[in-house]
Amino acid sequence: MTKGHPLNIIKKQIENYFNDVWGKKHGAKMSIFDDLSPVMNTYKAFDELLIPLDHPGRQPTDTYYLSQEQQILLRPHTSAHQNEILREGITSFLCTGDVYRRDSIDATHFPIFHQMEGVHVFPKEALPGVEEKDTLLVVEDMKMALEGLAKHLFGDVKFRWNSEYFPFTDPSYELEIFFREQWLEVLGCGAIHQQILKNTNLSPRRGWAFGLGLERLAMILFSIPDIRLFWSGDQRFLSQFSSPSPSTPLPKFKPYSKHEICTKDISFWLPPSFHDHAFFDVVRDVAGDLVENVTLIDSFKDVSSGRESKCFRVSYRSMDRNLTNKEIVPIQEQVRARCESELGLKLR
Ligand code: FA5
Ligand code: MG
């Protein structure tokens, strides 16, 4: 993340909020971590976070494993660092890093993105116990901190809280912000699970944690319409952002001309156990960031054979030039071929 890049600007703004605005009010200082290795084992990424063995996040359809035995992986979230940092006795911190996931393909999802983890455990002498009313105090304090962050970044903005589930927080929530006529999820959070506080020798203290998507927040802050733009080396993108001083208003992204879209449909019969992510992964692998969106447009089950069929629409568009049909046809052909040879899909 280089200086002047929108991701770096938003990261600094969040760190400023927690150390200068929120921190001053609460007499807390958040330690900053941003160079921890993304290569780790399943113990750190999942076990220590109480993530059960049958959780979908552990499957190779979600996670990028680096070893055959599925022991070593690319971190799927920055929560993977919670335990090690807490165990060092550091109880207020922000931890930023690149994270890796197989996921859907659209304007707000990318297989590599950046998260920032925020953790705050209340000091011994302050607050709360372990009863339900105490948990409510923890949640209230967390929501105030995060609503304050939204206000700090965006001024008056429309947001809402939804209940969520994470194995390492209880209760858990997600925060959504209204952006481009839609609700956009920007973070997950909750009261730190008491077992994690016990395991890190902090019990009976209480605390909260959150994990936010830096690209999503930067999209809102700068009005960036597509997450692929963060990977652009195009000066028409990069030159629009300069590290602003606190007194100058942040620039809004001025879209340069949008290039032609080229769509191709693909239909296939599924093998017995099949995950859409496997298909998305092949499309990503072949088309890289030329693919803008993959949408399921039809699915049905053949009653007599019990077989299921799906049809996806793949939309190709470059962020910085016009694509020709001539260029896309062989890409789509390659996607089709790999669907058959690697995924065992029967093309229709
Ligand atoms: C988590 O990753 C939890 N570790 C967050 C957390 C931390 C919960 C601490 C409780 C306590 P989730 O999978 O929802 O949660 O991802 C968090 C955020 O990352 C999302 O809200 C979104 O902003 C961002 N995000 C998730 N997937 C993608 C993606 N494919 N592309 C871009 N951003 C993404
Ligand atoms: Mg989520």
Pair (38, 176) in one structural domain: yes
Give per-residue pLDDT as tens, 289-332.
Answer: 999 999 999 999 999 999 999 999 999 999 888 999 999 999 99
Total number of residues shown for the chain: 348
Pair (11, 135) in one structural domain: yes
Query: Which residue's C-alpha comes closest to atom 20 of ligand 1?
Result: 187
Residue list, ligand 1 pocket, CB within 6 Å: 77, 79, 101, 103, 109-110, 113, 115, 117, 166, 169, 172, 185-190, 209-213, 215-216, 227
Between the CA of 237 and the centroid of ligand 1 the distance, in Å, is: 25
Which of 166, 170, 206, 210 for mutating ligand 1's site (highest number of atoms within 8 Å of CB)?
Answer: 166
Tell me, yes or no, whether 290 lies in a domain. yes
Between the CA of 142 and the centroid of ligand 2 the distance, in Å, is: 17
Give per-residue pLDDT as tens, 239-281.
Answer: 888 655 656 677 888 888 788 999 999 999 999 889 999 999 9
Q: What is the pLDDT of residue 252?
A: 86
Pair (81, 220) in one structural domain: yes
In the chain, how long is the greatest CA-to-CA distance?
68
Tell me, yes or no, whether 252 lies in a domain. no
E strand or H helix that includes residue 150: helix 132-154
Tell me, yes or no, whether 256 lies in a domain. no
Q: What is the pLDDT of residue 177?
A: 98
- Ligand whose nearest atom lies closest to the CA of 118: 1
Between the CA of 60 and the centroid of ligand 1 the distance, in Å, is: 18
Pair (124, 24) in one structural domain: yes
Give per-residue pLDDT as tens, 31-48.
Answer: 999 999 999 999 999 999
Between the CA of 186 and the centroid of ligand 2 the distance, in Å, is: 8
Tell me, yes or no, whether 78 lies in a domain. yes
Among candidate residues 157, 131, 300, 289, the one with its CA nearest the CA of residue 219 = 157
Between the CA of 336 and the centroid of ligand 1 the distance, in Å, is: 31
Q: Backbone dihedral region of 261: left (phi > 0), alpha (psi from -120 to 50 degrees) or beta?
A: beta
- pTM of model > 0.85: yes
Among candidate residues 344, 342, 282, the one with its CA nearest the CA of residue 312 = 282
- CB contact at 8 A, 201 and 267: no
Pair (16, 120) in one structural domain: yes
E strand or H helix that includes residue 148: helix 132-154
Pair (100, 133) in one structural domain: yes
Q: What is the pLDDT of residue 250?
A: 77
Helices H / strands E in the chain, number of each: 10, 13
Pair (188, 271) in one structural domain: no
Q: What is the CATH number of the domain that holds 306?
A: 3.30.70.380
Pair (71, 213) in one structural domain: yes
Query: Which residue's C-alpha comes closest to atom 19 of ligand 1?
Result: 213
- CB contact at 8 A, 78 and 211: yes
Confidence of residue 238 (pLDDT cuts 50, 70, 90): confident
Query: Which residue's C-alpha comes closest to atom 24 of ligand 1?
Result: 213
Among 241, 273, 305, which residue terminates a domain? 241
E strand or H helix that includes residue 215: helix 214-222
What is the residue range of 234's domain? 6-241
Pair (120, 194) in one structural domain: yes
- CB contact at 8 A, 86 and 119: yes
Q: How many CA atoms lie within 13 A of 79 on its CB side?
A: 28
- CB contact at 8 A, 81 and 89: no
Give per-residue pLDDT as tens, 202-227.
Answer: 999 999 999 999 999 999 999 999 99
Which of 75, 115, 161, 169 for mutating ligand 1's site (highest number of atoms within 8 Å of CB)?
Answer: 115
Tell me, yes or no, whether 253 lies in a domain. no
Segment 167-174 mean pLDDT: 98
Residue 233 has pLDDT above 90, yes or no: no
Query: Which residue's C-alpha comes closest to atom 12 of ligand 1?
Result: 188
